[in-house]
A and B are shown apart, each in its own frame.
Chain A
Amino acid sequence: MPHYLVILLLAGVSSVFVPKNRMIYWWASVVIASLIYSALFLMGCFGSNALTFDWQAIPNIPIAISFVPEYFGCCACLGVLALSFFAVYYNILVTKEESPNAMNGLILLNCVFVISAILSPNYIQLLAAVGMSDVIVFSAINQLDAKKQYIYGNFFADFILLNTFALIFVQSDSIVISNFGDASKQWSHRDFIAIMLLLSIFIKSGLLMFHTAYQKMSSLNYNRLNFILYVTTPLMGAIIFENIKDVFVISPYSYPLLKIFSVLTILFAALGTLCVDNIKRKAVYLSMMFWGLIFVGYAWQINTVSPKFYVLLLSAFLFNNSLMLVYKAASDEVLISRMGGFLKSLKFTFFINAVSVVLYAVTWWIYAQKSIPYAIIGLFVISITSAHVFSEVYLSQSKADEWVLARLKNPLFLLWLPIILVAAAVIYAKLNEWQYIYGFAVLWMLLFIFHPFRKLSMMYKYDSFQKSDKVTWLYNFFILAPLKFFGRALRLIVDFVFIEKTILASIKSAIRFAVFIFRKLHGKNIWGYMIFVLSAVIIIAVAYYKGVMQ
């Protein structure tokens, strides 16, 4: 393994095992130093062959793992390092994290495996990185329901991925991803392979029908939640797609399926953002919408691999973190229905929120501008949802209690500093592309001021809607319950009725009957004696007859 990853790994493992709150800043500086060192190293080692190694994970298959960063790989890795840096930053400086050292360690470990996945030239490295990242995220989720849903879904996704790659392996006899292109046309079960791979990616990225695990995470600490939503498994889904996208052309079903799921995801997530009361759940829906938008780009084959994606990802991450400013300013109040009219007291916070929206919109434009309709749809969805949320918070009639209102104050500069810095950097780098989002700014302001979806806030009152989890119910009703029923019925029929009451009971009865007969024959009875003698005569006769015949 290259030494920068080893350093990340060691720093991560040691940070995980440091007792909870001991020397937080010292360990955080070690973690940040390892991230900075890795970033500097990556910038100076394009295409270095020294970063390819033989891995003996399976003795009968030579696996060459590679950490060679080409231009895109290097930019992607730098993006992941930057995201990890900000996750560590928020973790240490601003949030009330339960065990910051362990969380920092998990952020670093996740970073190692995401980088491994990005740079993987073969699917064994990809599979291992994806699986390890799942274990890391599983450890990072400190809410049991979310943990459960997460591991069920991701175990299933990993299992599908593993077996689909196994099916590919037996047909292509190669583990190298770049060989997929032409070879894939000769494979059998092409539809099955494509659909299974897509299913796995959908689960990982939390698209519609597979989003419940992320929904359950809304009780997590805000920073932990944002880290998981943007830097871990959903990102892995996108990385898997990027790595193996050549495979999807083999089936006529893959792109239509991708289109259906991604569009429905955007619609569902946008609706969720508008109707859900809890600000953390809104954050989850916003991330779901983000991944839906990304997959729409994949579905219509608009986006190519580019470093812009990671800048967009960072902006989306910071935008979600800007929601935290509201939450923090309102003394950790999570319900939007208990906010409103905050503009008077939180002008600066509103300014930061607006900057984060602009940053998100600019980076989206830069990312999606190859297809103007795609870019406009994205801007439209972003503006509707973000304007609605901030309008609810800042402009609508105040429903906050007096205690919250009295304690309203703009957050510390450490909280908003990253947003301002990144926005400044993006504006500086892409100054000439500013002009394209004037339209967006106008639209956003109109939506913000006139608040056209204000009627949807009546949904906040319906507890059954706010807490409903229909997808889990559907899984339970249509999959789990029938399986459990079959299991119980089979146990009753196979084990109890057939084996216990039929086979074993028959053997027992036969033995009992034989004992009974022999006991009768051994009794002081002339008939028993006669039967014994007669059976001996029959045996002799049969033996004699057989012998003569032969």
Chain B
Amino acid sequence: MIENTGILLSIIMAIPMLGVMFASLAKDGQGQTIKGRNVLSVGIFTVLSNLVILWITARKINVNGTNLQLIEKFKWLETPNIELVFGIDFFSLLLIAAIHFAVLLGMIGVRNNPYRQKTLIILSLLFLSMITGYLLAADIFSFYIFFEATLLPLFMLVGIFGDIKKQDILYRFFLYNLLGAMLLFTALCILFDNENVSISEISRVSLNRHIEIFVWGAIFVAFLSRIPIWPFHYWISSVNVNITNPLVFIVANIMPLTGVYGLIRFFPLTAPDILEPYLLALKIISITTMVVISLIGFSNRDIQYKLFSYMTVYYILYLLGALLPTDALLGNIGFSLFAYLIVISAIEIMISHLEKEKQCTKVGDCGILCNIKRSSFVLSFFILAAVGLPLSSLFLNNMLIFAGLLSYNIKMAAFILLAIILSSISLLHHLFYLKYPQEEVTDSKDVCVSDISMSVFCVLIVFMLILIASFINPLWFME
């Protein structure tokens, strides 16, 4: 690791916590007019401030560096020897920035939410702080703490903002994540061995053969429990399908990223050879999951499930890309994930807007976009970007990931591509379903459906420009 001193990383983690503090002191907009949205303003300001700090950080780090940079160490305990270490590389930075943009979009999506907005914003900022810490963690101890800490705000968000089936969802959420947490805890306890170990040095810890298989297997399952890979997809799909609050949906959908990131950090170059057969098994299960979920999404009418299916397919694609025996693709995965999280968040807030309008006007959503041009334009743009047309960095960076997968195993890659086509077509299909006035809804023009406001439209245009900039030059913010 490159030793460096500074407090930028601490600031990046601390700002959302400061936001939590200010938000808890701010007036809640509940029961007031929309103008009294102090909490939301605090939330948005916090995220924007952190984005500025991230931009400053980006200019300080070496884009091509493979090691963690701007290392910060904190001595916590002498016995046992625990030193918390944080560091950043360009991949983590891209993910943190994308998550910030996604949460920002989510906050814009809940600007008119009258129900417990203060709680919503506080928990979202708490989640932001935890996941930022997770992406910056460079040792197994802080990694584990933040890995588990991300669950707490999400558990509360689902509990508070879930719909009538939330008890069932929380049960699944708890069950699957408990399994992951226990396994990771046990594995890291074995790896800890009286001294904190940095993630990059894990493979150097000497273990006997059986313990090694157990440890890596436990890490494996722990991270998989966060990714919608069969059979773990079930809790995530339940959360996705049953949550209509866009911010909670976005936060819930960032959760699989923690699993993907964990596997990316632990596995590609540090995994011992003994795991090779298990990695093959993982790849087979992953691809089967991709195909199954995309088929289910293709036949499902619910847009939330379609979105979940799309996200699952892409998360697994990035995971498989990262598991290839090369780290050359890591940058491309980062650039793709950056655009992907923004695109998904924007689609979700648009879907949520349409869902709200559907409930207010009590008409079906078929053809709902006919008379709301701004929404139609924005949703079309983001869905076209999502399916991989040249409107964001997804387009060319995905091509390199596909290239890697095709060179590794063309038959496996063919199934992956099939899953991607199916999930993309199901998104396109829903777009046309929303646009197409069916004959039975003949009076859809008479129903007054509200379009997104001009200010939200402008914000979304800015996000479109960010995506286009990321297509023209993924390092646009470094220029």
Contact = CB atoms under 8 A, between A and B. Distances in A.
A366 interface: no
Interface string B381-404: 000100111110001111110111
A420 interface: no
Interface in A261-320: none
Interface in B385-439: 387-391, 395-400, 402-404, 406-407, 410, 417, 420-422, 424-425, 428, 432, 435-436
Residue of A131, A134, A485 with most partner-chain B CB within 10 A: A131
B231 A127 contact: no
Contacts of A134: 389
A155 B424 contact: yes
Contacts of B172: 504
B430 to A, nearest CB: 11
A59 B403 contact: no
A477 interface: no
A189 B389 CA distance: 26
Interface of A: 55-61, 124, 127-128, 131-132, 134-135, 138, 144, 147-148, 151-152, 155-156, 158-159, 162-163, 165-167, 169-171, 189, 483-488, 490-491, 494-495, 498-500, 503-504, 507
A171 B300 CA distance: 38
Contacts of A483: 295, 298-299, 422
Contacts of B410: 167, 189
A152 B410 CA distance: 24
A169 B398 CA distance: 13
B458 interface: no
Nearest to B397: A58
Contact of B298 (A158, A189, A487): A487
B435 A144 contact: yes
B224 to A, nearest CB: 15
A166 B237 contact: no
Contacts of B245: none
Nearest to B296: A491
B52 interface: no
Given A128-B395, A483-B295, A499-B234, A166 B390 contact: no
B30 interface: no
B297 A159 contact: no
A155 B387 CA distance: 8
A131 B389 contact: yes
B406 A494 contact: no
Contacts of B435: 144
B299 A135 contact: no
A131 B389 CA distance: 6
Given A58-B332, A165-B399, A144 B432 contact: yes
A158 B384 CA distance: 12
B230 interface: yes
B175 A507 contact: yes
Given A56-B473, A487-B300, A131 B395 contact: yes
Residue of B295, B297, B384 with most partner-chain A CB within 10 A: B295
A333 B91 CA distance: 61
A334 B54 CA distance: 60
B473 A490 contact: no
B299 A170 contact: no
Among all A-B residue pairs, the 7 with the closest Cβ atoms? A487-B299, A170-B407, A166-B403, A131-B390, A487-B295, A484-B299, A166-B402
Contact of A128 (B175, B237, B390): B390
A505 B114 CA distance: 37
B425 A58 contact: no
B59 to A, nearest CB: 16
Nearest to A123: B399
A500 B238 CA distance: 11
A163 B395 contact: no
10 contacts: A56-B474, A151-B428, A155-B389, A155-B424, A159-B388, A163-B406, A165-B399, A166-B402, A487-B298, A507-B175
Given A131-B389, A135-B389, A495 B395 contact: no
A163 B436 contact: no
A170 B406 contact: yes
A498 B396 CA distance: 38
A190 to B, nearest CB: 12
Given A135-B390, A483-B422, A60 B328 contact: yes
Contact of A169 (B63, B403, B473): B403
Nearest to B387: A155
Contact of A162 (B175, B388, B422, B474): B388
A486 B295 contact: yes
A140 to B, nearest CB: 13
A60 B332 contact: yes
Contacts of A503: 231
A298 B448 CA distance: 54
B56 interface: no
Interface string B327-339: 0100110010000
A158 B231 CA distance: 33
A135 B391 contact: yes
A134 B335 CA distance: 23
Nearest to A168: B403
B314 to A, nearest CB: 14
Given A135-B391, A170-B404, A494 B397 contact: no
A494 B232 CA distance: 12
A59 B432 CA distance: 35
B454 to A, nearest CB: 15
A159 B398 CA distance: 11
A128 B395 CA distance: 9
Contacts of A498: 231
A84 to B, nearest CB: 21
B266 interface: no
B225 to A, nearest CB: 14
Contact of B300 (A61, A127, A491): A491
Interface in B371-385: 384
Nearest to A192: B410
A151 B431 CA distance: 11
B472 interface: yes
A488 B300 CA distance: 7
A496 to B, nearest CB: 10
A499 B399 contact: no
Nearest to A166: B403
Nearest to A163: B402
B471 interface: yes
Nearest to B288: A494
Contacts of A167: 403, 406-407, 410
A159 B390 contact: no
B475 interface: yes
Nearest to A491: B296
Contacts of A59: 63, 331, 335, 474-475
Contacts of B474: 56-59
Contacts of B295: 483, 486-487, 490
Contacts of B389: 131, 134-135, 155, 158
A499 B236 CA distance: 13
A58 B396 contact: yes
